[in-house]
Amino acid sequence: MVSTRAATQSLAGILVTASGGLVSLRATDLEMGLQTDLAGNVEGDGSVLLPGRLFSEVARSLPSGTVEIEPREAERDVEIRGGDS
pLDDT in tens, the chain (85 residues): 555 555 566 678 999 999 999 999 999 988 899 999 999 899 989 999 999 999 999 989 998 888 899 989 899 899 999 876 5
Contact 66, 85 (CB under 8 A): no
Residue 11 has a pLDDT of: 76
Distance in angstroms (rounded) separating the CA atoms of residues 52 and 57:
9
Residue 13 has a pLDDT of: 92
Q: What is the pTM of this model?
A: 0.79
Distance in angstroms (rounded) separating the CA atoms of residues 46 and 67:
16
Residue 49 has a pLDDT of: 92
Neighbouring C-beta atoms of residue 34, cutoff 10 Å:
12
